[in-house]
Amino acid sequence: MLIGRAWVLGGRVGSCALGPRAALFTAAANMAKSKFDYVRNFETDDTCLRNCYIVVRLDGRNFHKFAEQHSFTKPNDDRALELMTRSARSVMEELEDIVIAYGQSDEFSFVFKRTSTWFKRRASKLMTHVASQFSSSYVFYWKEFFGEQPLLYPPGFDGRVVLYPSNRNLRDYLSWRQADCHINNMYNTVFWTLVQSGGLSTTQAEDRLKGTLAADKNEILFSEFNINYNTEAPGHRKGTTLIWEKRDEISTKRTTLPGGEEADVAVTRSRRRVHAHRCDIIGEAFWAEHPDILEGDHC
């Protein structure tokens, strides 16, 4: 028991500045430590700089082999592209601080807002969470897009974290990825058209395209195969952009009318969900239409 600033235990009086309960908790905290705690000093600080957009980019590991073994359609397999988009949407729904994501082929970039404090802005935590959520979603939703075609082995994705301090830097990054999508898709479209419709071997198609420019590839498609590249699917040419948007959704609700009769009534609710856009994000139109994506620059 307490006696002023002293306490009695087993008939002995001792001085205690904290009191017996505080002393008990302090002892428990000390007991939690061990001589092995020093190993924590080997951890490096990977906290991302404040006031920067955090971009986590995932790339499929050895996806050329993965696509071959799973018989992906060339040059674009819409099932695989939609599965990538579904997996990316799962990541955004899990981590709501992601304001925009952009994907093409076997890659996806996720942009965390500048003020995000998720995982205390630790790069390793952000990257591993995005990678694990994306990979598990890819496996989980496989059947939804590929039906009874079996998944022969687990896919792998590697990730990296890059910081962009300004809106212009971030837009240039996303523009770079979309330009890469255009360049790769145009080459692949012409290459596989030459193989599948032109009867060339893959080696002959490679030789045919060496040193060609975009205009040359457009000419091959149009003059030899009557294909206008600009009419190809927007998702193939532009990739997929995911953003959060509020949209009205109409549902039916059973309700009792003033006369006592029951009836189905249409109810409109505004819900915030992840929506896909397959459009140009290099120009100004997209950003003018969605001004809330980017935060104000602080410089």
Query: Is 280 part of any known ligand binding site?
Result: no
Can you name the residues that pair with 53 across neighbouring β-strands?
A: 164
Phi, psi of 158, rounded to the nearest 5 degrees:
-100, 160
Q: Is 226 annotated as a binding residue?
A: no
Under DSSP, the state recorded for 49 is P
Cβ 132 vs Cβ 89: under 8 Å: no
60 is in an annotated binding site: yes
Backbone φ and ψ of 212, nearest 5°: -80, 150
207 carries a ligand binding annotation: no
Residue 235 is assigned to a ligand binding site: no
Per DSSP, the three-state class of 132 is: helix
Main-chain dihedrals φ then ψ at residue 93, nearest 5 degrees: -70, -25
Report residue 1 as tokens.
Answer: 């028991």
Q: Are 20 and 13 in contact (CB under 8 A)?
A: no
**Is residue 34 part of an annotated ligand binding site?**
no
* Rounded (to 5) percent helix, strand, coil in the chain: 45, 25, 30
Question: Annotated binding site for GTP: which residue ranges?
Answer: 59-64, 105-106
Question: Annotated binding site: which residue ranges?
Answer: 59-64, 105-106
Question: Annotated binding site for Mg(2+): which residue ranges?
Answer: 59-60, 106
